[in-house]
Amino acid sequence: MGDLLYLYGLIPTEEATNQSLPSMKGFDGESDIYTIEIGDVTAIVCKLVSSEYSEGTIKDKIDNDMEWLQEKAFHHHETVLMVSKMYTIIPLKFCTLYKNEDSLQNTIKSNINKLENAFSQLEGNEEWNVKIYCDDKQLRKKVSESNPAIEEKRIEISELPKGRQFFEKKKIDQLIDQELENEKNQLCEEVHEKLKGKSLQGSIKKNWSKDVTGRQENMTWNSVFLLQADKVDEFLEEVKKYEEELEETGWKFEATGPWPPYHFSSFS
């Protein structure tokens, strides 16, 4: 049977001409990664034996072989990350396969305007991720002591007959939980909009659980930004400022990057 093409990403041919791709092993650990020039777009690929990497085989591996999945996902990520530090790249998702070179060329040629626009948008820019964590216990204490709605409820309860106060006080805990969530959402939205104003684009991602982060604090916000390379330091200073101002009330900020621009290049 023939070979498949595993596609890591697409880069401008002009950049590929100016700087050669370093020698790297491909997805199977044996074949070499190489480039295919398709007009103004150059594809970064490796060959895979189709009998060993069919759609069904890969699906079975992803579903049932966690060690294989971790190893291959790490290979893909590290390869794309390395390439992103050398070229303007449109990164492709894990396990993007083409049946042959003709199929790949047809896809790129039919999407050439979209790809050129993406290169123009990404050139000289970087993707950065900002995660916001919160120590709920610490922030809950602050909310309990200083939130106007809770204080108003306490005053209201103090004016009730003693018998009713006992039952009404139980509702304060529910109110504190509600105001805690309101405060977390409000602060994170405000921070996101402020940081978005210092970026070219910004979007919100799904929060990760503690099992994934390995942290004691809950992740309350997960966002990604496209930044001009010469504005990154200013952006990070803004994140650091929030960290310093809010650390005492249980907030933690984590900015990481630059990453391959997965979230700002829609080609797939």
Residues 234 and 170 in one domain: yes
Q: Tell me the backbone φ, ψ of residue 14, rounded to 5 degrees.
A: -60, -40
Please report the sign of the dihedral spanned by the C-alpha atoms of residue 87, residue 89, residue 91, residue 97.
negative
The pTM (predicted TM-score) of the whole model is 0.83
Domain that holds residue 87: 3-123
Spatial distance between the Cα atoms of 233 and 245, rounded to a whole number of angstroms: 18
The mean pLDDT of 91-100, rounded to a whole number, is 94
In terms of DSSP H, where are the helices of 197-231? 210-213
- Express as a percent the part of the chain with pLDDT over 90: 69
Q: Quick one: 25 and 114 in the same domain? A: yes
Tens of pLDDT, residue by residue over 65-93, are 999 999 999 999 999 999 999 999 999 99
Q: Is the per-residue pLDDT at 195 higher than 70?
A: yes
Instruction: Look at residues 123, 144, 162 and tell me which one is the last residue of a structural domain.
Output: 123
Domain boundary among 123, 138, 162: 123
Q: Are residues 132 and 110 in the same domain?
A: no
What is the number of domains present in the chain? 2
Last residue of a domain, one of 91, 107, 123: 123
Tell me how far apart the alpha carbons of residues 187 and 168 are, in angstroms, rounded to a whole number: 29
The residue ranges of DSSP E strands in 50-170, in sequence order, are: 90-91, 97-98, 125-134
> For 132-141, 150-159, 202-211, 233-242, which range has the lowest pLDDT when averaged over its residues?
150-159
My answer on whether 83 and 186 are in the same domain is: no
Q: Within this chain, do residues 77 and 147 fall inside the same structural domain, yes or no?
A: no
